[in-house]
Amino acid sequence: MKIGSEEQLKTLLRTRGLRFTPDRLRVFRALADTPQPLSVPALINIVAPDGVNQATVYRTVEQFLALAVVQTVLLHDGVVGYELVPPFSSHHHHFICLDCGNVQDLPADRVDSALTKSLQGLGLKAVGHKVDIYGQCEKCHEDTD
Amino acid sequence: MKIGSEEQLKTLLRTRGLRFTPDRLRVFRALADTPQPLSVPALINIVAPDGVNQATVYRTVEQFLALAVVQTVLLHDGVVGYELVPPFSSHHHHFICLDCGNVQDLPADRVDSALTKSLQGLGLKAVGHKVDIYGQCEKCHEDTD
DNA sequence: TTTTTTGCAAAGATTTTGCACCTTA
DNA sequence: TAAGGTGCAAAATCTTTGCAAAAAA
C-alpha cells in the first residue's frame, strides 16, 4: 500500500501544479511510518537528520493540510498533531488511554453509521467527523483490577 | 447556574489545597461567558484588561486542565482551545462548518449511547469522549443550493 | 527555461521559568 | 503565619517570512 500511496501523492501534487520533491516524500513517509499523529516539531526531529529544513516542514505540513493529505489531531497533552487521512491511511478514530496517554487507532465502521443517524433533523449536513474516546486501554484496565 | 458553578470551582480548588483567587475567577468567567472554546492568547485578550498577567493565564489554564475544569478542543484553524466541561458546562459535542469555520455546540444525548455501544467487545473501558463533526451548517448549506 | 521549492537567517509570536513580593485561608 | 499565587522580565521554543539560489518539469 505504501508505494501506491506515494504514487497517489505524486499524482495529487501534479494535478495541482505542485511538485513531487524528495523533501515532501520524506515528510510523507515520516507520517506513514509512524502509528501516532505527529506534531511539527516531532516531524522536524524525524526528517531534519535527512537534511530537511524546518521551514520546509512547516510549509509542507501546511500544503498537505490544504490538499487534505493530512488532518489535525489533538494529542493527549494538548499539542496539535498531524496524521494522514484516507486514501493515504485508513479511516479510523482514536482511543486515548487516560492512564498511560497512549493513543490507539479504532476501526471506524463501528461508530460511523450511528453518528450519521444522530444528526437527522438538525439541518446540518455532515461530510466527516472525528471521534476521540477516552478511558482505560486493556492493559491499564487490568492494572487497576 | 453561573453562581453555582463558581461555588463548585471554589470548593474544588479548596479540596485540593488550592486557592480561589480573583484571577482564577476571571479566567473561569471568561470561559463561562464565551460560547466557543478559547485559545490561551484569546483568553489573555479577554482578561488582561482586568489586570491578569499572561503568565498567570497560562498557569491557570494548566491548573484547570489538571483539575478537569476544562478540556482541550481543536479549533478549526488548527489552534488548541479550552472549554469548560461538566459540571461546569453541559456535555456537548461540536459541529464545525467547513465553509465558515463556525464551531457550534451539539446536544450530546443524540450520539452518546450509540458511541458507547460501539466499543463493546473491544476490551476498552470508555469514561468519556469527544466528537467533532464536520460539514455545512444550515446557513452555509442554503447558500450553495 | 519557467515555475516552484528550498535554505538561510532574522523577525515575530508563543510559552516557560525563577525569584521576590503579595494574598488567601 | 504558612503555603500558595502573581508580576516581572528574561529565556527558551515555536512559527513565519523575504529573498536569492537550487531543483523539478
Map out the domains of chain B with their CATH numbers. 1-89 (1.10.10.10), 91-145 (3.30.1490.190)
Q: Select from B63, B64, B73, B74 the residue whose CB has the most chain A CBs within 10 Å, as the one to mutate to test that interface.
A: B74
Provide mean pLDDT across the span A33-38.
87
CA dihedral B113, B89, B133, B37 (to 10 degrees): -160
B127: chain A residues, CB-CB within 8 Å: 98, 134-136
The residues that bridge with B128 in the sheet, in sequence order, are A134
pLDDT for residue B112 is more than 80: no
Provide mean pLDDT across the span B17-42.
94
**Protein residues with Cβ atoms closer than 7 angstroms to any atom of nucleic acid strand C:** A 13, 17-19, 21-24, 51-53, 55-56, 59-60; B 10, 13-14, 19-22, 39-41, 54-55, 58-59, 62, 80
Average pLDDT of chain B is 81
Q: Please answer yes or no on whether B118 and A124 come within 8 Å at the CB atom.
A: no
pTM: 0.78
Q: Please answer yes or no on whether B131 and A129 come within 8 Å at the CB atom.
A: yes
Q: At what angle do helices B109-117 and A109-117 cross, to 10 degrees?
A: 160
Which cell numbers hold the place of B47? 482578561
Residue with cell 510523507: A28
Give B2 CA → D1 C1' in Å: 34
Which cell numbers hold the place of B96? 464545525
- The percentage of residues in chain A with a pLDDT greater than 90, rounded to a whole number, is 46
Q: Select from B75, B111, B119 the residue whose CB has the most chain A CBs within 10 Å, as the one to mutate to test that interface.
A: B111
At residue B78, the pLDDT reads 82
User: What does the alpha-carbon distance between residue B54 and residue B78 come to, in Å, rounded to a whole number?
Assistant: 22
* Strands lying side by side in the sheet with B92-97: A103-107, A92-97, A125-136, B125-136, B92-97, B103-107
At residue B1, the pLDDT reads 46
Q: Please answer yes or no on whether B114 and A119 come within 8 Å at the CB atom.
A: no
Which cell numbers hold the place of A142? 487490568
CA-derived radius of gyration, chain B: 17
At residue B91, the pLDDT reads 73
**Residue of chain B whose alpha carbon sits nearest to that of A66:** B77
Provide mean pLDDT across the span B76-80.
81
Count of beta carbons in the 10 Å neighbourhood of residue A117: 11
pLDDT for residue A38 is more than 80: yes
DSSP letters, A22-83, are HHHHHHHHHHHH-SS-B-HHHHHHHHGGGT--HHHHHHHHHHHHHTTSEEEEE-TTS-EEEE
Cα distances from B81 to residues A7, A65, B39, B95, B129, in angstroms, run 36, 19, 4, 15, 16
Residues 6 or more apart whose Cβ sits within 8 Å of residue A125: B135, B136, B141
At residue A15, the pLDDT reads 95
Model pLDDT for residues B31-67, shown as the tens digit of each residue: 999 878 899 999 999 999 999 999 999 999 999 999 9
Choose between A17 and A118: higher pLDDT.
A17
B132: chain A residues, CB-CB within 8 Å: 129-131
Provide mean pLDDT across the span B74-78.
77
At residue A1, the pLDDT reads 47
